[in-house]
Structure 1
Amino acid sequence: MGKREQYVQLIEAMIQEEGAGALEGFLAAQSGLPGPRANMELAAAFADYFAAYVDIELWDIVQAWTRITPYEAPTGSPREFLPFCAIQAFGAVYCRCDPVTMGGIFNLFSVVAEDPRWRMRESVAIALQRVAPCHSEDVLILFEKWVQVGTPLYYRAVVATLAEPDLMENPARARAALRLSEKILRRISNLPLEARKNPDFKTLVQGMSYALSVFVAASPDEGFALLEKWATREDPDIQRIIRENLRKNRLSKAYPERVAVLL
């Protein structure tokens, strides 16, 4: 039994003995925060438990955690772990929900995707990675909306979610990732210099600088066609994105000749 499964059993036993109200203190104490890495195994285990055993009381508790503000739980604080877990939990339970509740969960994700706390933004990507296998079309529709909204953090959420190799095993999803990426590249190329000084834009560039390589590796012919098209753009940020992706081992080692032509 792995650590994640052990955590699920521990959570189940604790709730049976002490009630769901004991979760807050337990999760915060075991969060790994402050520190360089949150307890990802515990967060995943809590989401697993939530999806399997949620009741009205637990739903209300976890929903309240999503309203914990950056002021109440700044980046790196143990209390930040509560909304971090909550977002993943709602991603895990999404596939069991009715359409109205599904819409509410996606509305929540749309808000948190622009949260000033980087860990909270990451929780949205993790949550949507749970949704995608069972409701891929819902996720892609959401992403089309996010790309239309036109904010760097939405763009970043799109590519961060899809840049998961397991998700890219689905050919249709890989093609969709490339299509969305091209729309984002086009948005980037149209941004004025002043807008590119925003830290959110730099976060987007960092995300794009690795995500494309995942998409290209999943669909090489279409992917390299996209890279070839954009490699000639005289835009320093676009050039950086293309160059950094070409240098990733998943492309440079698997397709050295194709990469050499573009570098």
Structure 2
Amino acid sequence: MVDTTLWLAELKALEAAEWPAYLNQRSGLPGPRANIELIAVVARAADPSVIEVLLADDGEYTAACAAAALGYRAADAAFERRARELAKDERWRVREAVTIGLQLLGDSDLPTLVSLVRAWADDEDPLVQRAAAVAICEPRLLRTEEAARIAIEVCQRTTDRLIALPVQDRKAPAARTLRKSLGYCWSVAVAADPGAGLPVFAALDTADPDVAWIVTQNRRKKRLSKLLDNPG
């Protein structure tokens, strides 16, 4: 496990204008994996003035850090609106960082996260729907039957929204991104509460090709395949 205490101490000693250079030096980019652990530190530590500086920097990593910080503060309506916009960003790392921030919010305030993901699941944009599903389908957040039930509900609602799209619209990048995420989110939600989740998952209409793909992908995940092989 990465010891993040040094990063936190060093960031707190910096002026807001110094954060972008510090973060970019430790971003892990260019490279195959960005420094996700540092993004989580920034999500908790960045105050509103720092968030503005990070967004103004316009780099991908600094934008991702700002997106996570906005997601973490999404209990505030103004921050929530901006986080929702960044959930639609063309840069996938920025979109992913929004969900990191939302999950961190859920660690301390799960009821607020539940309210947010339910609202985002009904957004018109598939990328916002995708953020809702990914944010709640995190095993550490699904330790109660109620939380697992919400994850199952969000998976169902976002799947329904995907298949309600005209066939040609399902080929758009945003819809394909939603479908890809649903290809694993269902397995997380069902594994958290098999008694409630398995019947809903089994009822998915695999006559629809996109639903069939989602079901196939989830069945391949070990967390779900074990349940399906041993339903008792």
Match of 2:148 in 1: 174
Partner of 2:8: 8
Q: Kindly indicate whether residue 115 of structure 2 is the aligned counterpart of residue 144 of structure 1.
A: no
Secondary structure, counterpart of 1:192 in structure 2: coil
Give 1:63's match in structure 2, choosing from 36, 52, 68.
Answer: 52
Match of 1:219 in 2: 193
Counterpart of 2:210 in structure 1 is 237
RMSD: 2.2
Any residues of structure 2 matched to 1:246-261 within 5 Å, and which?
246-258=219-231
1: distance between equivalents of 2:11 and 2:154? Answer: 38
User: What are the Cα deviations for residues 175-217 of structure 1, in whole angstroms up to 9, with x where unaligned?
Assistant: 0111121112222222221001101111111100001000000
After superposition, give the CA deviation of every residue in 1:93-123 in whole Å (9 maximum; x if it has no partner): x38xxx7xx1111111111111111011001
Distance 2:220 2:109 in 1: 33
Structural mapping, 1:61-100, within 5 Å:
61-67=50-56, 73=58, 79-92=59-72, 94=73
In 2, are the aligned partners of 1:4 and 1:44 still within 8 Å (CA)? no
Identity over aligned residues, as a percent? 31
For the Cα contact (< 8 Å) 2:43–2:101, is it kept in 1?
Answer: no
Give the 3 Å change call, closer, same or farther, for CA 219–103 of structure 1 in structure 2. same
What does 1:157-172 correspond to in 2, within 5 Å?
157-172=131-146
The CA distance in 1 between the partners of 2:32 and 2:158, in whole Å, is: 30
Shift of 1:85: 1.1
* Structure 1 residue 67: Cα displacement: 4.9
Alpha-carbon distance between aligned partners in 2 of 1:256 and 1:105, rounded to the nearest angstrom: 44
CA shift digits 1:122-165 (9 cap, x unpaired): 01100100111333232222222222223211121011111211
Retained in 2: the 8 A contact 1:84–1:120? yes
Q: Which residue of 2 aligns with 1:76?
A: none
Asked if the contact 1:84/1:119 (under 8 Å) is kept, the reply is yes
For 1:136 and 1:124, the matched residues in 2 are separated by 16
Q: Which runs of 5+ in 2 are unaligned?
A: none
- Of 157-166 and 34-43, deviating more is 34-43
TM-score by length of 2: 0.90
Q: 1:244 to 1:118 in 2, by over 3 A?
A: same
TM-score by length of 1: 0.80
Q: In 2, distance between residues paired with 1:61 and 1:48?
A: 11
Is the CA contact 1:3–1:41 (under 8 Å) kept in the aligned structure 2? no
2:38 aligned to which of 26, 39, 42: 42
| Aligned 8 A contact 1:217 1:250 in 2 | yes
CA distance in 2, matches of 1:132, 1:5: 21
| Cα distance in 2 between the residues matched to 1:183 and 1:174 | 14
For 2:51, give the aligned amino acid.
V
Say whether the 8 Å CA contact 1:160–1:211 is kept in structure 2: yes
Q: How many residues align?
A: 232
Say whether the 8 Å CA contact 1:133–1:167 is kept in structure 2: yes
> Over alpha carbons, which structure has the higher Rg?
1
Q: Distance in 1 between matches of 2:133 and 2:120?
A: 11
Structure 1 position 104 matched with structure 2 position 108: no
**Cα offset for 1:2?**
4.2
